[in-house]
Structure formats: C-alpha cells, structure tokens
Structure 1
Amino acid sequence: MYSYTATAVAALALLQPAIASPWGGKNHPPPPPPPQVGPPYLNQLAQQHGKLWLGTAADIPGTNESTDAGYMEIVTNEKIFGQLTPANMMKFQYTEPEQNVFNYSGGDYILDLAERDHQRVRCHNLVWVDELSPFVTNTNWTAAQLTAIMKTHILNVVTHWSDRCYSWDVVNEALNGDGTFSSSVWYDTIGPEYFYQAYEFATEAVRRTGKDIKLYYNDYGLENPGTKTTAAYNLVKELQKRKSRIDGVGLESHFEVGATPSLADQNAAKKGFLALGINVAVTELDVRFTAEPYYTPAGLAQQAQDYYTSVQSCMTVWDFDDKYSWVPSTFPGQGAADIYNATLQRKPAYYAIAEAIEGKPCTVCKV
C-alpha cells in the first residue's frame, strides 16, 4: 500500500496533467484491495483437527473496527474465527462505570454479533489492575469495603451474562516477572487474598447460574518454564486446595519476532498446567516487530515461523490485523504483530498457522 502526503500529491499535480481516475477525482492512488476471506479457513481447519476453535479478540464496539466493512467481514466469518474475545468492553470500567450502576451494552453488542455468526465468546475480564472505574481507584477503601465491591461486581456481571460467556478470565495479570504479586488497588488494599477471593466469588456466581461456565487465570510470561510460570502453578494449586473453580489458564503470548520461546519450552510450560488437571489456551497471540522495516521478506518469514511454532501448541490470536493493533500505542516504534496487514491482506503468518494446524511443514517460513 502506498501512502502520499498532501505535499507530495500537490507536487505531482504541478508536474503532471490532470488525469481522470476510475475511482473518482484526479491522481488518487488506487484503492486498497478487498479483504482476503477465502480459504484456507483457520477455524474450520482447527475444528477438523480436534480443536475447539481458532479465535480472535476484537475491540468493538466503540472503535473504527465496527464501522470498517472489510474488518467486520473477516471477524464475523465463522470459518476463519470460531471464537471472539472482547478486548475491552467487558472490563470493569465499562460494565460498572459507577458503583452499583451496571452497563452491559458493549458486552451485549459483541455477544449478539458472535451468536449471530455461531461463534463462542471468552469473556474478559473481571479483576485487573487497569481499566477500572474511577470510583474504585479514587477512594481510600478499607480491605473489607473493596472486597465487597469486588464481590458485587463479579456476582452481577457473571450471573447477568450467564453461559452466553463460554468462560471468564477471572483475574488478569496478577504476577510480576519474579512470581510475586504485582501492585494494584486490589493487592495494595486487600493483600494476596484478593486473588483467591475473586475465584471464590466467581465460583459462587457460576453456581448461581446453574451453567457450565469455565473460569480461567490469564497472564503473559507463562509460555516457558521459569519463576513466573512456577508461581502460576502454585496459584492454581492453592485454588484447587480451597475448592474454588479453576478450569484453565490463558497464556497471552505477546511475542517478538525472532525471540519467541521454542516449541520445546512452550510445550513444557503447558504440560505443567495440564498436569494439574486444567485446560491451557493461548489467548492473546501476536508476534510484533521491535523495529522497522516491518515487511521485509526475511522478517515476514521469521514472523511466520514464530506463529507456526506457537500454533503447534494451541491457539487464539489477539486481534488479527496491523491496522487496529494495540502494539504501536503500547510499544512506540514497534508493530506489524498480526496475521493480516493494514489493508487486510494475509501475511505469511496466516498461512503458517494453517500449516501448523494441519501438521504440515511450514512452506512460508523461508525467504
């Protein structure tokens, strides 16, 4: 895709006679190609090979994604994605913007969309350090008061949507890299007990619904053996000891091109969770370039290899296109982390995922 600045276009107009464009106007660059939506179909392949789905996150509604027809054509295609995760709309600040005032409209939007297209929804998330309502963070609560707030929030949100949610990320990103609890309003006010209370309340909420709603712990840095992964194993063991429901762990897998954990390491980490009798899901897979240029043949081949390696374990991608990626705003100068580019054309990584699902050698992992 070519992008022209206003200055560059003006300079071209001075040098060239006006030429009528078939797209309207004069001297406009060609429009982007239509989004790629044909085979191979990733979710269809995943289900044919015994997986529940291959899914994606979507930051809708409230963003340009929901008004981008090409984006919506891809994200709602159940052959490509069989599951959706709301990137933001079910987080605390959106679902309980004021104390005891609940707003389910954003979550309803994505649930309605998914149900229309026969997709399942992983609901995300109930307790996290970030995207909290001001009433939570701007008041000096006692431990007892904040615990009551957390309980009210979890019981209301989980029971409201019931099993329209296949699962919930109950606590998100509770650990530092060294395996200790990270600072948050929850930890700083209540202490480590907040983590276990969250699952106690979520277990109670699921019981009230009478439905089978899976409860997960979700975090990054758990994709290979190490201190943080061991700490996560211990959290699961403690929850099991307390008889709280814990069905699985979500591995965020926000990787860097050329620095993705090996297949052996990823498998070893997952086996440790599986040995505890819980499920493992790769919940937020993306592989970002840490510096430009992003789209060199060698770089794209390496990115394809990194996706291939990760999907050999298990799979869900965290959004799917570079156009709306979360990466550049979080990591300035980095990007191009996803499997579609900014014009919704498939990158080699897309085809690497298909080959990994099918157990075929990666033909796009080489220049």
Structure 2
Amino acid sequence: MHPEMRRLSISVEMVDHWITVFKSIEGKEKKMNRKSSILAIMLTLTLLFSIFGPKEASSLDKVKVAYVAIMNFAPLYVAIGRDFMKEQDIEVDMQKVASGTEAMAFLAQGSLDAGGVGITAATFNAFNKGFDLRIVASAALQPQKEGPTIIIVRKDLKDSGKVKSIADLKNMKIAIAGGPGTTGAYFVAKGLKEVGLTVKDIEIVNLANPDMPLAFEKASVDAALVGPPYSDQIIAGGKGVLLAQDVAPGAMTTVFMYSGKFIKERTDVAKRFMIALVKGSRAMQGSMYLDPANLKAYLKYVTSTEEAIRKSKPQVYDPNLKVFIDSIKNMEEVFRWAGWTNYTTVIPQERMADPSFADLAVKALGPSKP
C-alpha cells in the first residue's frame, strides 16, 4: 500500500475516534468548566494535526542524490522545491559533484542512491565493466529543432568557400570542451559519420567553452562545437558563423540514474522518488517553466541568475521523463565506432537502462496534460 494510503487509513480511524470523544465532551459540556472544554478541544486539534500534517524529517525516507549544478537536472530541483518529494515521504540529501563521471563512481559503489549524469564514452565503459547502476529516466533532451549546441566555423573559411558543410572539415582543428569521448564529441562524431568521415580525419582540440571566443579571434582553431553564451559571442564578434545545427535532434544526452543497490534494496522508495521526479518535470512544461516557485527551485541549485534563466531558451524535458532506448543505443554505437570505448561489442540494453520506474510513475500519476 502507498505510504499516503496507509496514513490515510490510520487517519480515518483516528478521526472517527476523536469525533466520538468530541461529542462526549459536547454532551458533558454543562458539567465541565469552560477551561476544561477548551483544553480538550485543543488536544483534539493537536492530535488531528499530527495525523494530517507532514511527517517529521526524521521519519522520512532519505535518498542521497548526486547532481551537477546545471539546468539539465531541473526536474529534480522542482520536485524538491515544490515538496513533491515530501509528498512521497522522501527527504533528499543533495550531494554536489563536479561531473557525471564522479556521480557514477558513487552510484556504482552504492554510497549514493540516484544522480544526474551526462552520457559520455565513460558511461558505456562503466556499463561494460559491470558497474551496478542503471539509466532510469531522461533529463534535459536536445530540442527537435534550433538546438543551442551548434558547430561554428571560422568566417574566413566559410566566406572563401573552403568549408561549406561538415564534409569539408577534413584535416581541420575542431575545438570540443572536454575533448574526445564527451557528450559534445558525440555530436561532432555523429556529424562526421553521416558524411562518410571519421574522427581520425580531424584534429580534436580540448578547449574550455569560455576560451573558444579568443581561439576564433586568434584563428587557432578552425571550428568548434559550442553553445550559448559563447557561441553568441563568437558570431557577434564576426569571427565565426554557423556551420551545422541539430546534428542529433531529440537526443537524450543527460539522464537520471539509480544505483543497483537502491533498485534492489529500496525498490518502493525508488518508485516513490520517480513519481516525485515526474511531477517535477510536468510542473515545468510550457509557460510553467518560469513559474516563480520553479525559478526559486532552480536558483537554489544552479549557479545562475533569474535574469539569465529568463533570457535563455528553455530546456526541453519529456513530461514523463521517458527513457529513450534508441537514443542510448545510437550514442553507444557512435562512441564505439569512434574508438572512444574500451570494448568493441554491443552492450545489452538491460545492462544500461531500466525504464520500469518511469513507466510505473506514469501509471500512478495518469497521462500528462498539455
């Protein structure tokens, strides 16, 4: 039985009991002095509040969650900030980490229960090694069109006609934050694969996003995979122009994971956690994205400002946090094709993802409403 139903069942019995008591008090009111009546009523109200009021934090199920302080994992922030987790009798212990790779290490050890992770080659290497963790929900998705992450080429190369498309990037220097094997590298590799090139046909330069505008100024790179605000700076500076956009429309590049230990030993808590998480995503759809309660939740966990969030293009989240298996398979295939994994055979889907928790949450909540 769901925790709220158990509490409701107990509450109904207790309410009936105290109604009887209250009537008894009312019947004997003439024999009681006014002070005693008020005291009895206050006692009744106190007990009723203890039944219907929120559980004490100490009695909530604690879930330890790793997160990187970016908007990709905003459904989690909203689920906490708007008390959807408390509704499920869950207290979330947020553990900030530097990267998804760090989060995966803690999840594999079972020292953390859940986490937000960006999919990289290291993700699949971990699955191949038998790390006990699973993708259980999608986080931010790539938009179907006009995605923020784009490939920019030097303007002089485009103007001269030397580079007209991704196919013309052969033997050129391409800047990617984090270098080979990263989520950004996936976009570049996928684009190259589709035009018959390989990652060996280009030189990947590991360059931090904030350093990319200067690299274009100095012409030290030929192209870059970059997103706002740095892509805007490069184009506004007149040194770079758009070459390719929407290389992987709809791709599920960030996800929520559960540790194997959490799945096996605290299955009921894991189910309730997902219900709250899906409610968080649904509370952010469309115009609700900038709801004041949501903004407050974002700013508690993301290093940004309200103005910056309002000005930036909203992230895309599936209202049901669906696990897109085809997207996982495509990323795994591209990373393996590029030679960025330490294995060569396909990993079975069941070793990478478990969509059942998101599916059960949708059944519990019902269909999402537009």
Q: Please give the range of the TM-score, normalised by the shorter of the 2 chains.
A: under 0.3
Q: Radius of gyration: which is bigger?
A: 2
User: Relative contact order, CA 8 A, sep 6+: which one is greater?
Assistant: 2
Q: Output the TM-score relative to the length of structure 2.
A: 0.24
Decide which structure has greater helix share.
2
Q: Output the TM-score relative to the length of structure 1.
A: 0.24
